[in-house]
Structure 1
Amino acid sequence: MPSIQNAGENSIIVYFGDKPSNSVSSHIAEFCNYIKMKHETYIKDLISSYASVLVIFDPSQTNHLIATKIVKNAIISTQEASKKEDSHKKGKLVQLPVFYGGINGPDLERIANEARLTADEVAEIHQSVSYSVYAIGFAPGFAYLGEVDSKIATPRISTPRKLVPKGSVAIADKQTAVYPSASLGGWNIIGICPVPMFDAFQKPHVPLRVGDTVKFKSIDENEFNALKMEFKNK
């Protein structure tokens, strides 16, 4: 059973587990959808993490006691639904193209050397896994995906880069992600994806949500440039 704690004057945090998993992600997705549909008037925001959700309520509409009851009811109401979703995989499957290596994947060769693999083998292993979206955070559209095969799981770099290019596909320990915008970052960059991970002018603004599944597909430089131009002209 998830645990509930007060997190501030107008917020409550719900812990759905102690580590990310498909079942935890499914329950978080169901919980957030339920709250948004049933209690939009009272709840100002929901911030999902790997295994928790921060619920921020409107103090002009409700209080801690009522908000806690809303949260408890939402947990109970979505617990069975999340189990069914986990078993039937209701989240959508999203395929993301990646141009691996080269100047856009500066850490690929190092990961390959440390794992005693070739760069092509690292790319093959990376795209062989179906990744679950565990959380959306850090930056708008930044989806934490897991789990990376242990053969290529690599710790964060010791000194973060001052600028990681938009679209960079990266690995940190057993997680992988696509940087939605240029930013500071300490993940290992292995390639680049032409698909925008955040677009303020499109609805939805992000192509992924918690509970979705992601598969990566290798493309060459010509395909990357063509897709990049296609999305730019949309």
Structure 2
Amino acid sequence: MRVRRAGDAALLVETGDLATSHRLDAAVRGAAIPGVVDVVPGEHTVLVTADPAVCDLDRLAARLPGLPLPEAAAGEAAPVEIPTVYDGEDVDVVADLAGLSREEVVARHAAASYTVAYLGFSPGFAYLTGLDPALHVPRRDSPRTAVPTGSVAIAGPYAAVYPSQSPGGWRLLGRSDLSLWDVERDPPSLLRPGTRVRFVVREGDR
């Protein structure tokens, strides 16, 4: 691991791969180091922010590479189930791009086992790995100006659920009523890096 300063109150750890990022995230949180304010894992990095008045960043930088890493960040926790109605506007487009039937697109998406790689784009927006390679389709050429909250979508190798209404160019496969972001909840995001996820097919109401 390579540790670099990121401003006056943070360290950026280059982990080299997603699994190590998740394990280091869990290790830092589990260590409960005084002065550490937040841990933000990325695909190949982990950003550790700290209060310099409480935590000496040089000592923290020396300590981080030696933290014992757990075998798996998610442990034995059951996957978060996301009930999904597969009536999205882009199901037929994805089927054409993938050379599959509409039913096969739904079946392949729902059968996969996903893991939260990292959060980004908007609060609570989780990039999910594990998407069936047959469904690796490109984004739309022109993003929508407003994608509804709860939209289940795919783009490239990732799947996601929009936690709030926002612009977006991902392909929409369906929708879910599950609340992924709630400021009254602690933590506000239902999904965290390393969390396992599965989509459950449910019948539509419209």
TM-score by length of 1: 0.80
**Shift in Å, 1:71:** 2.2
In the alignment, what sits opposite 1:43?
A: 36
**Shift in Å, 1:119:** 1.3
Q: Give yes or no for the alignment of 1:27 onto 2:23.
A: yes
**Shift in Å, 1:54:** 0.9
In the alignment, what sits opposite 2:16?
A: 17
Gap change, CA 1:206 and 1:117, over 3 Å in 2: same
Gap change, CA 1:154 and 1:207, over 3 Å in 2: same
Q: Give yes or no for the alignment of 1:114 onto 2:107.
A: no
Cα contact 1:48–1:137 (8 A) shared by 2: no
* Structure number with higher helix proportion: 1
2: CA distance, partners of 1:152 / 1:62: 45
In the alignment, what sits opposite 2:129?
A: 146
Structure 1 gaps, min length 5: 226-234
2: CA distance, partners of 1:204 / 1:10: 22
Letter paired with 1:45:
D
**Shift in Å, 1:25:** 5.2
In the alignment, what sits opposite 1:4?
A: 3
In the alignment, what sits opposite 1:228?
A: none
Q: Give yes or no for the alignment of 1:98 onto 2:98.
A: no
Q: Please give the residue correspondences for 1:139-178 in structure 2 after superposition, counting only pairs within 5 Å.
A: 139-178=122-161
Gap change, CA 1:89 and 1:47, over 3 Å in 2: closer
In the alignment, what sits opposite 1:69?
A: 62
In the alignment, what sits opposite 1:232?
A: none
TM-score by length of 2: 0.90
Aligned residues between the structures = 206
Q: Percent identity?
A: 31
Say which is worse superposed, 119-128 or 46-55, in terms of deviation.
46-55
Cα contact 2:21–2:46 (8 A) shared by 1: no
Cα contact 2:84–2:200 (8 A) shared by 1: yes
In the alignment, what sits opposite 1:133?
A: 116
Gap change, CA 1:141 and 1:171, over 3 Å in 2: same
2: CA distance, partners of 1:185 / 1:113: 21
Cα contact 2:21–2:41 (8 A) shared by 1: no
Cα contact 2:151–2:173 (8 A) shared by 1: yes
**Shift in Å, 1:179:** 0.6
Structure 2 gaps, min length 5: none
Q: Please give the residue correspondences for 1:195-210 in structure 2 after superposition, counting only pairs within 5 Å.
A: 195-210=178-193
Gap change, CA 1:109 and 1:132, over 3 Å in 2: same
Q: What value does the CA root-mean-square deviation take over the aligned residues?
A: 2.0
